[in-house]
Amino acid sequence: MAVLQWDQEVYMPAMGATLRAQQLATLSGMAHDLGVEKELGSLLEELSKSDSLNKIEKINVTETLRVYNDRKKYNTAFVIELSKTVSESFNAWQEAKRKKDFNLFLPFLSKLVDLKKKECDLLGYEEHPYDALLNQFEPGLKTKKVSAIFTQLHNQLIPVTKKIADASQPNTDFLHLHFDKNKQWDFSLILLKQLNYDFNKGRQDISTHPFTTGFNANDVRVTTRINENDLFEMIGSSIHECGHALYEQGLPVNDYGLPSGEFLSLAIHESQSRLWENKVGRSLSFWKCNFQTLKNTFPDQLKNISVQQFYAAINTVKPSFIRTNADELTYHLHIMIRFELERDLFEGKIDVADLKNEWNKKYNNYLGLKVEDDSQGILQDVHWSHGMFGYFPTYSLGSMYAAQFFEAAKNEIKNLEAEIESGSNLPLLNWLREKIHRHGKTFSADELCINITGSELNIDFFMNYIKEKYANLYSFNL
């Protein structure tokens, strides 16, 4: 299924879509049937009672049994209805986005939300229906905890974004000159090599929405997107996806097919992409090493630009409509808006019909932006049309984990920033491999974070990093 999906995003001709959807539906049906087979259940039950298992084996059995039991909660009729509704919703969303009209998507989204509410009941929850959805992406995460983290984050981010808004903005014009597609492609390969992406275990292609897919630790593929009028779009997405891929290339390949060979959770996955993208790819150290190569690739466009000017330009903070193009700070305001809407929706506090108004109100309150049309507002993300509710918070949590992990790395790796400046990114990768990648799913996210940093997830690490970096870049005092 992963190979078919990868092909669909990267190479498949447009006319292939309908039958490809059918092929994928057939395979997911088969996977579901195999995954709920009685014999599998009784073998897992038997194994879970065995005393002969070591610690890792025990975790593999318990985790596989948990997934098995969750899968059993679905009946075939529900699975088919959900899958059909998702296909229809995705088509409706594409058309609605093209026509900039949320109303075309509304009836499909309503139906999908009703089904997802049913799914919350099927799966069960202790405190909040939305917990059931969060747990599909981030096992054990509670709505209450996300609310608390986001309230803290909101209160601390707003004063910083206000200070930045009052400061003078760096020149970013040179990032928007014309940058040849092929030359950008060549530079993206240089970036991947520089970051130790293993091309014997992967490849890069082009797609509209950059993504990483791992079939196993020995075949982890990335895509990037190239915008000839925005140089950092390729750079940012290449480094981001490379971070995801380094994680999967570092999973224990001998544990293929077992939880101990799989990534831990989406937030931890995102912590790896954000760590490389933001802590490395948006750092002065990294560009002190790589800016000359970039300049050699684009000598005319970057002729009079210093590395300091480049560093300032790629770290510009400015509220904007589109989440995926947002800077490191305002990005989280985009996520909070989506989280609050999803939470209120599943709590029954708001209705699908209220979403657009609520969305626009929040964009005005949090980002000071007046949404002019639905395609740059409520229709911008694909997630809801795929029925993926509970996914967005993992993006922000990933950044928070990244900041906390990177702080630990700086404490443990001698002269980490000097290493990066000299072009040596291997000490950091090896550290991540040792602390995170090789463990697969054998810890919970909380346990992993405590093991590495000595404490649970704490947004102070992120806020301290943000304050120091941006007070410096925008010359203000905090």
470 alpha-carbon distance from chain centroid: 23
Contact of 78 with 118, CB cutoff 8 Å:
yes
CB of 270 to Co ion, least distance (A): 5
Region from 162-170, 253-261, 272-280, 404-412 binding Co ion, contact rule CB under 5 A: 272-280
CB of 244 to Co ion, least distance (A): 6
CB of 40 to Co ion, least distance (A): 32
CB of 255 or CB of 270, closer to Co ion: 270
- Distance, CA of 79 to CA of 65 (rounded, Å): 20
Q: Terminal CA-to-CA distance of the chain, rounded, Å?
A: 50
CB of 268 or CB of 452, closer to Co ion: 268
CB of 32 to Co ion, least distance (A): 27
Q: In what order do the strands lie in the sheet with 212-216?
A: 204-206, 219-224, 212-216
Would residue 241 show up in a list of annotated catalytic residues for this protein?
yes
What is the per-residue DSSP string for 39-85? Answer: HHHHHHHHHHT-S---HHHHHHHHHHHHHHHHHHTS-HHHHHHHHHH
Region from 266-274, 354-362, 440-448, 449-457 binding Co ion, contact rule CB under 5 A: 266-274
Strands 219-224 and 204-206: parallel
- Distance, CA of 357 to CA of 373 (rounded, Å): 12
237 contributes a contact to Co ion by CB under 5 A: no
Region from 22-30, 269-277, 311-319, 345-353 binding Co ion, contact rule CB under 5 A: 269-277
- Distance, CA of 322 to CA of 337 (rounded, Å): 12
CB of 282 to Co ion, least distance (A): 15
CB of 276 or CB of 298, closer to Co ion: 276
382-to-51, 388, 411, 476 alpha-carbon distances in Å: 46, 9, 39, 38
Catalytic residue among 119, 233, 241, 277: 241
- Distance, CA of 285 to CA of 410 (rounded, Å): 13
CB of 273 or CB of 399, closer to Co ion: 273
CB of 59 or CB of 436, closer to Co ion: 436
CB of 454 to Co ion, least distance (A): 26
Contact of 82 with 115, CB cutoff 8 Å:
yes
CB of 188 or CB of 301, closer to Co ion: 188
Q: How many CB atoms lie within 10 A of CB 446?
A: 12
Number of residues in the chain: 478
CB of 85 or CB of 237, closer to Co ion: 237
Contact of 376 with 245, CB cutoff 8 Å:
no
CB of 395 to Co ion, least distance (A): 7
- # chain residues binding Co ion, by CB under 5 A: 1
Region from 271-279, 307-315, 341-349, 385-393 binding Co ion, contact rule CB under 5 A: 271-279
Which contacts (CB < 8 Å, 24+ apart) does range 88-95 have? 89/384, 89/385, 89/386, 89/387, 90/382, 90/385, 90/386, 92/385, 93/379, 93/382, 93/384, 93/385, 94/385
Instruction: Restricting to residues 37-76, name those near Co ion by CB under 5 A.
Output: none
- Among all residues, whose Cβ is closest to Co ion? 273
Contact of 238 with 191, CB cutoff 8 Å:
yes
CB of 260 or CB of 273, closer to Co ion: 273
8-to-202, 225, 230, 474 alpha-carbon distances in Å: 18, 16, 26, 43
Among 237, 273, 278, 315, binds Co ion (CB under 5 A): 273
Contact of 63 with 259, CB cutoff 8 Å:
yes
CB of 5 to Co ion, least distance (A): 16
Residues labelled as active-site residues? 241
Interface ranges with Co ion (CB under 5 A): 273
